Amino acid sequence: MSNIIVYSKQVCPYCVRAKALLKRKGADFKEIMVVDEETRDEMLAKSNGMMTVPQIFIGDFHVGGYNELEKLNKKGELDELLNK
């Protein structure tokens, strides 16, 4: 299974949804809470300047946020990414 990173914040309904979807898929992920400028800057650098959370990475692939994750799931492409 691919290495998964989810950048999130404490109070974020889209973060909750993204993590719930990944859990339903049986995916283990590392959650990085964006609580300071250093972590925010790390997320911005990895995501090409995307400032919203969640920012989701599966392996080397930048998924984006919850909406993009859900679109991949509906198209049946999320399982492929998770199983690489």
User: Whole-prediction pTM value?
Assistant: 0.94
What is the DSSP-derived secondary structure letter of residue 76? T
Q: Are 47 and 62 in contact (CB under 8 A)?
A: yes
CATH architecture of 4-82: 3-Layer(aba) Sandwich (3.40)
Tell me the average pLDDT across 78-84: 92
Q: Where are the domains of the chain?
A: 4-82
Q: What is the DSSP string of 30-47?
A: EEEE--SHHHHHHHHHHT
Say whether pLDDT at 55 is over 90.
yes
